[in-house]
Chains A and B, each alone.
Chain A
Protein backbone atom coordinates (compact mmCIF):
# COMPACT_ATOMS: atom_id res chain seq x y z
CA UNK A 1 0.00 0.00 0.00
CA UNK A 2 1.36 3.44 -0.84
CA UNK A 3 1.73 6.10 1.84
CA UNK A 4 -1.21 8.06 0.43
CA UNK A 5 -3.47 5.02 0.41
CA UNK A 6 -2.35 4.16 3.93
CA UNK A 7 -3.23 7.65 5.18
CA UNK A 8 -6.64 7.37 3.54
CA UNK A 9 -7.36 4.02 5.17
CA UNK A 10 -6.11 5.24 8.54
CA UNK A 11 -8.32 8.34 8.28
CA UNK A 12 -11.21 5.93 7.95
CA UNK A 13 -10.30 3.61 10.84
CA UNK A 14 -8.88 6.26 13.16
CA UNK A 15 -10.50 9.59 12.32
CA UNK A 16 -9.14 11.26 15.45
CA UNK A 17 -5.51 10.42 14.73
CA UNK A 18 -3.11 13.30 14.11
CA UNK A 19 -1.15 12.59 10.96
CA UNK A 20 2.43 13.68 10.44
CA UNK A 21 4.17 12.94 7.15
CA UNK A 22 7.42 14.80 7.77
CA UNK A 23 9.50 11.68 8.32
CA UNK A 24 10.30 8.63 6.25
CA UNK A 25 7.08 6.88 7.27
CA UNK A 26 3.66 8.33 8.12
CA UNK A 27 3.14 9.02 11.83
CA UNK A 28 -0.24 8.70 13.51
CA UNK A 29 -0.80 10.04 16.97
CA UNK A 30 -3.69 8.43 18.80
CA UNK A 31 -5.02 8.52 22.34
CA UNK A 32 -4.22 5.83 24.90
CA UNK A 33 -7.93 4.91 25.06
CA UNK A 34 -8.24 4.40 21.31
CA UNK A 35 -4.98 2.49 20.92
CA UNK A 36 -5.93 -1.08 22.04
CA UNK A 37 -8.83 -1.36 19.61
CA UNK A 38 -6.91 0.29 16.82
CA UNK A 39 -3.93 -2.01 17.40
CA UNK A 40 -6.09 -5.09 17.05
CA UNK A 41 -7.74 -3.66 13.96
CA UNK A 42 -4.58 -2.73 12.08
CA UNK A 43 -3.09 -6.12 12.92
CA UNK A 44 -6.00 -8.09 11.51
CA UNK A 45 -7.65 -5.91 8.88
CA UNK A 46 -7.10 -7.63 5.56
CA UNK A 47 -5.70 -4.68 3.61
CA UNK A 48 -3.42 -3.47 6.44
CA UNK A 49 -2.05 -6.58 8.22
CA UNK A 50 0.56 -4.85 10.34
CA UNK A 51 1.95 -8.08 11.73
CA UNK A 52 5.54 -7.04 12.43
CA UNK A 53 6.21 -4.72 15.36
CA UNK A 54 9.87 -4.04 14.77
CA UNK A 55 10.42 -1.34 17.33
CA UNK A 56 8.63 -0.34 20.51
CA UNK A 57 10.00 2.42 22.63
CA UNK A 58 9.26 5.55 24.61
CA UNK A 59 10.53 9.13 24.54
CA UNK A 60 10.51 11.45 27.54
CA UNK A 61 9.49 14.94 26.40
CA UNK A 62 9.76 16.35 29.94
CA UNK A 63 6.08 17.44 29.88
CA UNK A 64 4.78 14.05 28.80
CA UNK A 65 5.92 10.63 27.62
CA UNK A 66 5.34 9.37 24.10
CA UNK A 67 5.08 5.69 23.29
CA UNK A 68 6.39 4.98 19.79
CA UNK A 69 5.40 1.85 17.85
CA UNK A 70 7.09 1.09 14.53
CA UNK A 71 4.96 -1.33 12.58
CA UNK A 72 5.27 -2.96 9.21
CA UNK A 73 3.50 -5.62 7.25
CA UNK A 74 5.42 -8.65 6.02
CA UNK A 75 2.74 -9.22 3.40
CA UNK A 76 2.45 -5.72 1.92
CA UNK A 77 5.73 -4.13 3.01
CA UNK A 78 4.14 -0.90 4.20
CA UNK A 79 5.40 0.73 7.36
CA UNK A 80 3.99 3.27 9.75
CA UNK A 81 4.61 4.76 13.15
CA UNK A 82 1.98 5.05 15.86
CA UNK A 83 2.52 7.42 18.76
CA UNK A 84 0.60 7.62 21.99
CA UNK A 85 0.99 10.51 24.40
CA UNK A 86 1.02 9.56 28.06
CA UNK A 87 0.77 11.54 31.24
CA UNK A 88 4.22 11.78 32.84
CA UNK A 89 3.03 11.38 36.44
CA UNK A 90 0.88 8.28 35.97
CA UNK A 91 1.71 6.76 32.60
CA UNK A 92 -0.66 3.89 31.89
CA UNK A 93 -1.38 2.16 28.61
CA UNK A 94 -2.87 -1.15 27.55
CA UNK A 95 -0.35 -3.81 26.61
CA UNK A 96 -0.05 -4.99 23.01
CA UNK A 97 1.84 -8.16 23.94
CA UNK A 98 -1.27 -10.21 23.16
CA UNK A 99 -1.25 -8.85 19.60
CA UNK A 100 2.50 -8.79 18.88
CA UNK A 101 4.29 -11.11 21.26
CA UNK A 102 7.62 -9.34 20.83
CA UNK A 103 6.05 -6.49 22.81
CA UNK A 104 6.26 -8.52 26.00
CA UNK A 105 10.02 -7.96 26.35
CA UNK A 106 10.00 -4.49 24.87
CA UNK A 107 7.26 -3.36 27.26
CA UNK A 108 9.14 -4.74 30.24
CA UNK A 109 12.12 -2.68 29.16
CA UNK A 110 10.03 0.49 28.82
CA UNK A 111 8.40 -0.28 32.18
CA UNK A 112 11.68 -0.30 34.06
CA UNK A 113 13.47 2.45 32.15
CA UNK A 114 10.57 4.90 31.78
CA UNK A 115 8.08 3.79 34.41
CA UNK A 116 5.21 3.18 32.02
CA UNK A 117 2.60 0.76 33.36
CA UNK A 118 1.19 -1.67 30.87
CA UNK A 119 -2.20 -2.95 31.93
CA UNK A 120 -2.90 -6.55 31.02
CA UNK A 121 0.77 -7.41 30.60
CA UNK A 122 1.31 -11.07 31.55
CA UNK A 123 4.59 -10.62 33.40
CA UNK A 124 5.42 -6.98 34.12
CA UNK A 125 8.70 -7.17 36.03
CA UNK A 126 12.11 -5.59 35.69
CA UNK A 127 14.08 -7.22 32.89
CA UNK A 128 17.47 -5.54 32.80
CA UNK A 129 17.81 -3.67 36.08
CA UNK A 130 18.13 -5.27 39.53
CA UNK A 131 14.83 -5.69 41.35
CA UNK A 132 15.66 -3.11 44.02
CA UNK A 133 16.49 -0.35 41.55
CA UNK A 134 14.63 2.89 42.12
CA UNK A 135 13.92 5.55 39.53
CA UNK A 136 13.56 5.38 35.78
CA UNK A 137 17.00 5.80 34.18
CA UNK A 138 15.96 6.86 30.70
CA UNK A 139 13.84 9.74 31.96
CA UNK A 140 15.41 13.12 31.43
CA UNK A 141 15.34 14.16 35.08
CA UNK A 142 16.95 10.97 36.37
CA UNK A 143 19.91 11.61 38.62
CA UNK A 144 22.33 9.01 39.90
CA UNK A 145 25.59 10.38 41.30
CA UNK A 146 27.11 6.91 41.62
CA UNK A 147 26.37 5.14 38.37
CA UNK A 148 26.09 8.06 35.99
CA UNK A 149 29.18 9.73 34.60
CA UNK A 150 28.45 13.04 32.98
CA UNK A 151 30.79 14.24 30.28
Chain B
Protein backbone atom coordinates (compact mmCIF):
# COMPACT_ATOMS: atom_id res chain seq x y z
CA UNK B 1 0.00 0.00 0.00
CA UNK B 2 2.75 2.46 0.94
CA UNK B 3 4.62 3.52 -2.14
CA UNK B 4 8.31 3.44 -1.57
CA UNK B 5 10.22 6.64 -1.69
CA UNK B 6 11.64 6.83 -5.16
CA UNK B 7 11.54 8.52 -8.47
CA UNK B 8 9.21 8.14 -11.42
CA UNK B 9 10.58 7.58 -14.94
CA UNK B 10 10.12 11.31 -15.55
CA UNK B 11 12.54 12.03 -12.72
CA UNK B 12 9.84 13.13 -10.34
CA UNK B 13 10.31 12.40 -6.67
CA UNK B 14 7.72 10.44 -4.70
CA UNK B 15 7.59 11.15 -0.98
CA UNK B 16 5.27 10.25 1.86
CA UNK B 17 3.86 12.85 4.21
CA UNK B 18 2.31 11.21 7.22
CA UNK B 19 0.59 9.23 8.64
CA UNK B 20 2.62 10.69 11.49
CA UNK B 21 3.45 14.23 10.53
CA UNK B 22 2.84 17.42 12.50
CA UNK B 23 1.37 19.27 9.52
CA UNK B 24 -1.37 16.75 8.78
CA UNK B 25 -2.97 17.22 12.25
CA UNK B 26 -3.79 13.59 12.60
CA UNK B 27 -3.14 10.32 10.88
CA UNK B 28 -3.51 11.43 7.28
CA UNK B 29 -1.12 9.89 4.82
CA UNK B 30 -0.35 11.73 1.61
CA UNK B 31 1.79 10.30 -1.18
CA UNK B 32 3.16 13.30 -3.02
CA UNK B 33 4.76 13.38 -6.44
CA UNK B 34 7.20 16.25 -6.71
CA UNK B 35 8.92 17.84 -9.66
CA UNK B 36 11.64 19.84 -7.95
CA UNK B 37 9.63 21.85 -5.44
CA UNK B 38 6.44 21.76 -7.47
CA UNK B 39 3.67 19.39 -6.45
CA UNK B 40 2.46 17.30 -9.38
CA UNK B 41 0.09 15.00 -7.57
CA UNK B 42 -1.21 14.34 -4.08
CA UNK B 43 -2.77 11.04 -3.27
CA UNK B 44 -4.45 10.67 0.13
CA UNK B 45 -4.34 7.24 1.76
CA UNK B 46 -7.03 6.98 4.37
CA UNK B 47 -8.14 4.53 6.99
CA UNK B 48 -5.57 4.88 9.76
CA UNK B 49 -8.34 5.93 12.14
CA UNK B 50 -11.25 4.19 10.43
CA UNK B 51 -13.48 2.66 13.09
CA UNK B 52 -16.40 1.80 10.83
CA UNK B 53 -18.81 3.88 12.85
CA UNK B 54 -21.46 3.29 10.18
CA UNK B 55 -21.30 -0.47 10.70
CA UNK B 56 -21.21 -0.09 14.48
CA UNK B 57 -24.30 2.10 14.40
CA UNK B 58 -26.26 -0.75 12.82
CA UNK B 59 -26.07 -2.64 16.10
CA UNK B 60 -26.65 0.31 18.43
CA UNK B 61 -30.00 1.64 19.58
CA UNK B 62 -31.36 5.01 18.49
CA UNK B 63 -30.13 6.54 21.73
CA UNK B 64 -26.71 4.96 21.60
CA UNK B 65 -25.59 5.56 18.03
CA UNK B 66 -25.43 9.31 18.57
CA UNK B 67 -22.47 8.98 20.94
CA UNK B 68 -20.20 7.53 18.30
CA UNK B 69 -20.59 10.68 16.20
CA UNK B 70 -18.86 12.80 18.85
CA UNK B 71 -15.77 10.84 17.91
CA UNK B 72 -15.95 11.71 14.23
CA UNK B 73 -15.47 15.43 13.90
CA UNK B 74 -14.47 15.83 17.54
CA UNK B 75 -14.26 19.59 17.15
CA UNK B 76 -17.91 19.76 16.10
CA UNK B 77 -19.20 17.08 18.48
CA UNK B 78 -22.29 19.06 19.45
CA UNK B 79 -23.27 19.74 15.88
CA UNK B 80 -22.76 16.12 14.80
CA UNK B 81 -24.95 14.99 17.71
CA UNK B 82 -27.51 17.59 16.70
CA UNK B 83 -27.75 16.11 13.20
CA UNK B 84 -28.26 12.58 14.55
CA UNK B 85 -30.82 13.70 17.10
CA UNK B 86 -32.68 15.54 14.33
CA UNK B 87 -32.71 12.48 12.09
CA UNK B 88 -34.34 10.43 14.86
CA UNK B 89 -36.73 13.28 15.64
CA UNK B 90 -37.75 13.43 12.00
CA UNK B 91 -38.59 9.74 12.11
CA UNK B 92 -40.48 9.94 15.38
CA UNK B 93 -42.04 13.32 14.47
CA UNK B 94 -40.94 14.66 17.82
CA UNK B 95 -41.49 18.27 18.71
CA UNK B 96 -38.42 19.67 20.44
CA UNK B 97 -39.16 22.21 23.22
CA UNK B 98 -38.17 25.78 22.52
CA UNK B 99 -35.72 25.89 25.43
CA UNK B 100 -33.88 22.86 24.05
CA UNK B 101 -33.78 24.42 20.57
CA UNK B 102 -32.15 27.57 21.93
CA UNK B 103 -29.65 25.62 24.05
CA UNK B 104 -28.75 23.48 21.02
CA UNK B 105 -28.01 26.51 18.88
CA UNK B 106 -26.06 28.21 21.67
CA UNK B 107 -23.93 25.11 22.19
CA UNK B 108 -23.53 24.67 18.44
CA UNK B 109 -22.26 28.19 17.94
CA UNK B 110 -19.91 27.97 20.91
CA UNK B 111 -18.59 24.78 19.35
CA UNK B 112 -18.11 26.53 16.03
CA UNK B 113 -16.11 29.30 17.69
CA UNK B 114 -14.02 26.77 19.64
CA UNK B 115 -13.32 24.86 16.44
CA UNK B 116 -12.46 27.94 14.39
CA UNK B 117 -10.25 29.28 17.17
CA UNK B 118 -8.31 26.03 17.28
CA UNK B 119 -8.04 26.07 13.49
CA UNK B 120 -6.76 29.65 13.61
CA UNK B 121 -3.99 28.71 16.03
CA UNK B 122 -3.08 25.57 14.12
CA UNK B 123 -3.12 27.28 10.74
CA UNK B 124 -0.78 30.02 11.97
CA UNK B 125 1.47 27.35 13.44
CA UNK B 126 1.53 25.49 10.12
CA UNK B 127 2.84 28.62 8.49
CA UNK B 128 5.47 29.17 11.17
CA UNK B 129 3.90 31.48 13.74
CA UNK B 130 3.83 29.69 17.04
CA UNK B 131 2.42 32.35 19.40
CA UNK B 132 -1.14 32.51 18.01
CA UNK B 133 -1.65 28.94 19.16
CA UNK B 134 -1.44 30.03 22.80
CA UNK B 135 -3.80 32.93 22.26
CA UNK B 136 -6.24 30.56 20.59
CA UNK B 137 -6.13 28.06 23.42
CA UNK B 138 -6.78 30.73 26.02
CA UNK B 139 -10.21 31.46 24.51
CA UNK B 140 -10.89 27.86 23.63
CA UNK B 141 -10.31 26.90 27.23
CA UNK B 142 -13.14 29.19 28.34
CA UNK B 143 -15.55 27.42 25.99
CA UNK B 144 -14.35 24.02 27.14
CA UNK B 145 -15.04 25.05 30.74
CA UNK B 146 -18.56 26.11 29.80
CA UNK B 147 -19.09 22.75 28.08
CA UNK B 148 -17.69 20.86 31.04
CA UNK B 149 -20.12 22.46 33.45
CA UNK B 150 -23.25 21.89 31.43
CA UNK B 151 -22.48 18.70 29.52
CA UNK B 152 -20.02 16.93 31.80
CA UNK B 153 -17.35 16.67 29.12
CA UNK B 154 -14.98 19.01 27.40
CA UNK B 155 -14.66 17.43 23.99
CA UNK B 156 -17.03 14.52 23.36
CA UNK B 157 -20.08 16.10 24.91
CA UNK B 158 -22.89 13.71 23.89
CA UNK B 159 -25.27 16.41 25.07
CA UNK B 160 -27.92 16.24 22.34
CA UNK B 161 -30.44 13.44 22.70
CA UNK B 162 -33.56 12.74 20.65
CA UNK B 163 -36.13 15.23 21.90
CA UNK B 164 -33.83 17.85 23.34
CA UNK B 165 -30.70 17.99 25.43
CA UNK B 166 -29.58 15.58 28.11
CA UNK B 167 -29.54 17.90 31.12
CA UNK B 168 -30.55 21.47 31.73
CA UNK B 169 -27.81 24.08 31.48
CA UNK B 170 -25.67 24.74 34.54
CA UNK B 171 -26.65 27.75 36.71
CA UNK B 172 -23.30 29.33 35.83
CA UNK B 173 -23.89 28.98 32.08
CA UNK B 174 -25.32 32.45 31.54
CA UNK B 175 -22.58 34.23 33.49
CA UNK B 176 -19.77 32.21 31.94
CA UNK B 177 -21.00 32.78 28.39
CA UNK B 178 -21.32 36.50 29.10
CA UNK B 179 -17.73 36.52 30.33
CA UNK B 180 -16.65 34.69 27.23
CA UNK B 181 -18.43 37.13 24.91
CA UNK B 182 -16.72 40.08 26.60
CA UNK B 183 -13.32 38.41 26.49
CA UNK B 184 -13.64 37.21 22.89
CA UNK B 185 -14.80 40.60 21.66
CA UNK B 186 -11.76 42.16 23.22
CA UNK B 187 -9.38 39.55 21.83
CA UNK B 188 -10.64 39.11 18.27
CA UNK B 189 -9.05 42.37 17.07
CA UNK B 190 -5.79 41.04 18.53
CA UNK B 191 -6.14 37.95 16.37
CA UNK B 192 -6.38 40.18 13.35
CA UNK B 193 -3.36 42.19 14.42
CA UNK B 194 -1.33 39.07 15.00
CA UNK B 195 -2.10 37.16 11.84
CA UNK B 196 -4.66 38.66 9.43
CA UNK B 197 -2.69 41.80 8.67
CA UNK B 198 0.70 40.12 8.89
CA UNK B 199 2.73 40.69 5.72
CA UNK B 200 4.40 37.28 5.79
CA UNK B 201 1.10 35.53 6.37
CA UNK B 202 -0.50 37.37 3.47
CA UNK B 203 2.40 36.60 1.19
CA UNK B 204 2.17 32.93 2.07
CA UNK B 205 -1.59 32.66 1.53
CA UNK B 206 -2.79 35.17 -1.07
CA UNK B 207 -3.31 33.61 -4.47
CA UNK B 208 -2.12 30.27 -3.12
CA UNK B 209 -4.24 27.18 -3.71
CA UNK B 210 -7.07 28.74 -5.68
CA UNK B 211 -10.20 26.61 -5.93
CA UNK B 212 -12.72 27.91 -8.45
CA UNK B 213 -16.43 28.02 -7.76
CA UNK B 214 -17.22 25.39 -10.40
CA UNK B 215 -14.63 23.00 -9.00
CA UNK B 216 -15.76 23.58 -5.44
CA UNK B 217 -19.30 22.60 -6.42
CA UNK B 218 -18.16 19.63 -8.47
CA UNK B 219 -15.99 18.30 -5.66
CA UNK B 220 -18.85 18.74 -3.22
CA UNK B 221 -16.92 21.20 -1.08
CA UNK B 222 -18.87 22.80 1.72
CA UNK B 223 -18.35 24.87 4.80
CA UNK B 224 -15.79 27.68 4.79
CA UNK B 225 -13.81 25.84 2.11
CA UNK B 226 -16.76 25.98 -0.29
CA UNK B 227 -17.90 29.44 0.70
CA UNK B 228 -14.45 30.95 0.19
CA UNK B 229 -14.84 29.92 -3.45
CA UNK B 230 -18.18 31.70 -3.67
CA UNK B 231 -20.58 28.81 -3.19
CA UNK B 232 -23.48 29.72 -0.93
CA UNK B 233 -23.59 26.43 0.90
CA UNK B 234 -24.27 27.38 4.51
CA UNK B 235 -26.92 24.83 5.53
CA UNK B 236 -28.08 27.20 8.26
CA UNK B 237 -29.24 29.49 5.46
CA UNK B 238 -30.02 27.26 2.47
CA UNK B 239 -31.88 24.62 4.42
CA UNK B 240 -32.44 26.09 7.89
CA UNK B 241 -32.85 23.70 10.80
CA UNK B 242 -33.62 24.29 14.47
CA UNK B 243 -34.27 27.97 15.04
CA UNK B 244 -31.72 29.31 12.56
CA UNK B 245 -34.42 30.72 10.28
CA UNK B 246 -35.40 33.11 13.09
CA UNK B 247 -31.91 34.37 13.84
CA UNK B 248 -30.11 37.34 12.44
CA UNK B 249 -26.75 36.41 10.92
CA UNK B 250 -24.98 36.54 7.60
CA UNK B 251 -23.66 33.82 5.41
CA UNK B 252 -20.01 34.69 4.77
CA UNK B 253 -19.10 34.19 1.15
CA UNK B 254 -15.66 34.81 -0.27
CA UNK B 255 -14.73 35.49 -3.86
CA UNK B 256 -11.11 34.55 -4.42
CA UNK B 257 -11.14 30.91 -3.40
CA UNK B 258 -7.53 31.07 -2.28
CA UNK B 259 -6.01 30.17 1.07
CA UNK B 260 -6.34 33.72 2.38
CA UNK B 261 -10.01 33.79 1.42
CA UNK B 262 -10.66 30.56 3.31
CA UNK B 263 -8.91 32.16 6.26
CA UNK B 264 -11.03 35.31 6.11
CA UNK B 265 -14.30 33.39 5.85
CA UNK B 266 -13.59 31.59 9.10
CA UNK B 267 -12.49 34.77 10.86
CA UNK B 268 -15.75 36.46 9.94
CA UNK B 269 -17.79 33.40 10.82
CA UNK B 270 -16.53 33.63 14.38
CA UNK B 271 -17.99 37.12 14.57
CA UNK B 272 -21.30 35.87 13.16
CA UNK B 273 -21.40 33.04 15.69
CA UNK B 274 -20.71 35.54 18.45
CA UNK B 275 -23.58 37.64 17.14
CA UNK B 276 -25.92 34.62 17.27
CA UNK B 277 -24.87 33.83 20.85
CA UNK B 278 -25.49 37.45 21.88
CA UNK B 279 -29.03 37.28 20.46
CA UNK B 280 -29.86 34.15 22.40
CA UNK B 281 -28.02 34.26 25.70
CA UNK B 282 -30.47 36.67 27.38
CA UNK B 283 -33.48 35.05 25.74
CA UNK B 284 -33.35 31.42 26.78
CA UNK B 285 -37.02 30.57 27.27
CA UNK B 286 -38.23 28.74 30.36
CA UNK B 287 -39.69 25.29 30.00
CA UNK B 288 -38.62 21.73 29.38
CA UNK B 289 -35.18 20.96 28.10
CA UNK B 290 -36.26 17.61 26.71
CA UNK B 291 -39.44 16.32 25.14
CA UNK B 292 -41.05 13.29 26.73
CA UNK B 293 -39.96 10.19 24.88
CA UNK B 294 -40.39 6.48 25.38
CA UNK B 295 -37.55 4.63 27.04
CA UNK B 296 -37.01 2.53 23.91
CA UNK B 297 -37.16 4.38 20.63
CA UNK B 298 -38.43 2.73 17.47
CA UNK B 299 -38.15 4.84 14.35
CA UNK B 300 -40.90 4.01 11.82
CA UNK B 301 -39.88 2.33 8.58
CA UNK B 302 -38.56 4.86 6.12
CA UNK B 303 -35.59 6.99 5.14
CA UNK B 304 -34.62 10.20 6.87
CA UNK B 305 -31.90 12.65 6.02
CA UNK B 306 -30.81 15.51 8.23
CA UNK B 307 -28.29 18.13 7.28
CA UNK B 308 -26.44 20.52 9.54
CA UNK B 309 -23.64 23.00 9.17
CA UNK B 310 -20.69 21.90 11.27
CA UNK B 311 -17.54 23.97 11.61
CA UNK B 312 -16.28 22.12 8.53
CA UNK B 313 -19.41 22.19 6.41
CA UNK B 314 -22.34 20.13 5.27
CA UNK B 315 -22.70 17.15 7.59
CA UNK B 316 -25.46 14.75 6.67
CA UNK B 317 -27.02 11.76 8.39
CA UNK B 318 -28.81 9.36 6.07
CA UNK B 319 -30.85 7.07 8.26
CA UNK B 320 -32.61 4.03 6.85
CA UNK B 321 -35.01 2.38 9.25
CA UNK B 322 -36.87 -0.89 8.96
CA UNK B 323 -38.88 -0.12 12.07
CA UNK B 324 -36.63 -2.07 14.40
CA UNK B 325 -34.71 -1.13 17.52
CA UNK B 326 -31.55 -0.26 15.61
CA UNK B 327 -30.95 1.63 12.37
CA UNK B 328 -30.88 -0.57 9.28
CA UNK B 329 -28.24 1.57 7.66
CA UNK B 330 -26.61 4.85 8.54
CA UNK B 331 -24.48 6.88 6.20
CA UNK B 332 -22.57 9.86 7.51
CA UNK B 333 -21.85 12.40 4.84
CA UNK B 334 -18.84 14.07 6.35
CA UNK B 335 -17.74 17.45 5.05
CA UNK B 336 -14.05 16.67 5.42
CA UNK B 337 -14.24 13.67 3.11
CA UNK B 338 -15.53 15.72 0.19
CA UNK B 339 -13.26 18.66 0.97
CA UNK B 340 -10.24 16.36 1.00
CA UNK B 341 -11.13 15.06 -2.45
CA UNK B 342 -10.53 18.58 -3.77
CA UNK B 343 -7.05 18.75 -2.22
CA UNK B 344 -5.23 17.06 -5.09
CA UNK B 345 -6.81 19.39 -7.62
CA UNK B 346 -6.03 22.47 -5.50
CA UNK B 347 -2.36 21.80 -4.78
CA UNK B 348 -1.26 20.66 -8.24
CA UNK B 349 1.29 23.11 -9.55
CA UNK B 350 1.85 24.69 -6.14
CA UNK B 351 5.07 24.56 -4.16
CA UNK B 352 5.59 21.90 -1.51
CA UNK B 353 5.76 24.57 1.21
CA UNK B 354 2.36 25.87 0.19
CA UNK B 355 0.84 22.41 0.54
CA UNK B 356 0.96 22.82 4.31
CA UNK B 357 -0.71 26.23 4.13
CA UNK B 358 -3.43 24.92 1.81
CA UNK B 359 -4.04 21.87 3.95
CA UNK B 360 -4.28 24.13 6.99
CA UNK B 361 -6.88 26.27 5.28
CA UNK B 362 -8.98 23.19 4.41
CA UNK B 363 -9.24 22.54 8.15
CA UNK B 364 -9.19 18.77 7.85
CA UNK B 365 -10.12 16.66 10.84
CA UNK B 366 -9.02 13.12 10.08
CA UNK B 367 -11.48 11.13 12.22
CA UNK B 368 -14.22 13.03 10.39
CA UNK B 369 -12.84 11.83 7.06
CA UNK B 370 -12.22 8.22 8.05
CA UNK B 371 -15.30 7.76 10.26
Chain A contact residues, CB within 8 Å of chain B = 22-25, 51-55, 57, 59-60, 68, 70, 74, 77, 100-102, 104-106, 127-131, 137-138, 148, 150-151
Of the candidates B55, B60, B328, B331, the one whose C-beta lies within 8 Å of that of A55 is B331
The 28 listed contacts between A and B (C-beta, < 8 Å) are A22-B302, A23-B302, A23-B304, A54-B316, A54-B333, A55-B331, A57-B333, A59-B328, A59-B329, A60-B329, A74-B232, A74-B233, A100-B218, A101-B342, A102-B218, A102-B219, A102-B338, A105-B338, A106-B338, A127-B46, A128-B47, A128-B50, A128-B370, A129-B50, A130-B47, A137-B52, A137-B55, A148-B55
- A23 and B303 alpha carbons, distance in the complex (Å): 7
A residues near B337, Cβ cutoff 8 Å: 105-106
- A53 and B370 alpha carbons, distance in the complex (Å): 19
Task: Please name the residue on chain B nearest to A83 by beta carbon.
Answer: B303
Known: A53-B220, A74-B232, A131-B1. A24 touches B60 (CB 8 A): no
The 8 A-B residue pairs with the shortest CB-CB distance in the complex, in nearest-first order: A102-B220, A128-B47, A105-B341, A57-B331, A55-B333, A101-B218, A128-B50, A131-B1
- A54 and B217 alpha carbons, distance in the complex (Å): 9
List residues 1-49 of chain B with CB under 8 A from any CB of chain A: 1, 45-47
Decide: A138 and B1 in contact? CB cutoff 8 A: no
B residues near A25, Cβ cutoff 8 Å: 305
DSSP class of A's interface residues: helix, strand, loop or mixed?
A: loop
- A53 and B337 alpha carbons, distance in the complex (Å): 13
A residues near B59, Cβ cutoff 8 Å: 150-151
Of the candidates B47, B217, B219, B314, the one whose C-beta lies within 8 Å of that of A127 is B47
Say yes or no: is B124 at the interface (Cβ < 8 Å to chain A).
Answer: no
Q: How far is the CB of B235 from chain A (nearest CB, A)?
A: 10
Of the candidates B47, B60, B219, the one whose C-beta lies within 8 Å of that of A101 is B219
Of the candidates A54, A129, A137, the one whose C-beta lies within 8 Å of that of B314 is A54
- A127 and B340 alpha carbons, distance in the complex (Å): 12
A residues near B217, Cβ cutoff 8 Å: 51-52, 74
- A39 and B184 alpha carbons, distance in the complex (Å): 47
Of the candidates A74, A102, A131, the one whose C-beta lies within 8 Å of that of B231 is A74
Q: How far is the CB of B1 from chain A (nearest CB, A)?
A: 5
Count of A-B contacts judged by CB separation below 8 Å: 87
- A60 and B45 alpha carbons, distance in the complex (Å): 26
Task: Please name the residue on chain A nearest to B340 by beta carbon.
Answer: A105
Q: How far is the CB of A109 from chain B (nearest CB, A)?
A: 8
Decide: B55 and A138 in contact? CB cutoff 8 A: yes
Q: How far is the CB of A113 from chain B (nearest CB, A)?
A: 8
Q: How far is the CB of A88 from chain B (nearest CB, A)?
A: 15
Of the candidates B219, B222, B305, the one whose C-beta lies within 8 Å of that of A70 is B305
Decide: B220 and A52 in contact? CB cutoff 8 A: yes
A residues near B328, Cβ cutoff 8 Å: 59
List residues 297-333 of chain B with CB under 8 A from any CB of chain A: 302-305, 307, 314, 316, 318, 320, 328-329, 331, 333
Q: How far is the CB of B67 from chain A (nearest CB, A)?
A: 13
Decide: A24 and B46 in contact? CB cutoff 8 A: no
Decide: B52 and A24 in contact? CB cutoff 8 A: no
Q: How far is the CB of B297 from chain A (nearest CB, A)?
A: 16
- A150 and B326 alpha carbons, distance in the complex (Å): 13
Task: Please name the residue on chain A nearest to B50 by beta carbon.
Answer: A128
B residues near A70, Cβ cutoff 8 Å: 305, 316, 318, 333
A residues near B340, Cβ cutoff 8 Å: 105
Q: How far is the CB of A60 from chain B (nearest CB, A)?
A: 7
- A95 and B344 alpha carbons, distance in the complex (Å): 20
Say yes or no: is B238 at the interface (Cβ < 8 Å to chain A).
Answer: yes
Q: How far is the CB of A148 from chain B (nearest CB, A)?
A: 8
- Beyond known contacts A57-B333, A100-B218, A105-B340: 20 more, CB 8 A cutoff: A23-B303, A25-B305, A54-B316, A55-B333, A57-B318, A60-B329, A74-B233, A100-B220, A102-B218, A102-B220, A102-B338, A105-B337, A105-B338, A106-B337, A128-B46, A129-B47, A130-B1, A137-B55, A150-B59, A151-B60
A residues near B149, Cβ cutoff 8 Å: none
Say yes or no: is B54 at the interface (Cβ < 8 Å to chain A).
Answer: yes
A residues near B219, Cβ cutoff 8 Å: 101-102
Task: Please name the residue on chain A nearest to B61 by beta carbon.
Answer: A151
Q: How far is the CB of A134 from chain B (nearest CB, A)?
A: 15
Task: Please name the residue on chain A nearest to B306 by beta carbon.
Answer: A24
Q: How far is the CB of A85 from chain B (nearest CB, A)?
A: 15
B residues near A137, Cβ cutoff 8 Å: 52, 55
- A78 and B221 alpha carbons, distance in the complex (Å): 18
Task: Please name the residue on chain A nearest to B214 by beta carbon.
Answer: A51
- A104 and B343 alpha carbons, distance in the complex (Å): 13
Among A52, A68, A77, A127, max chain B CB count under 10 A is at: A52
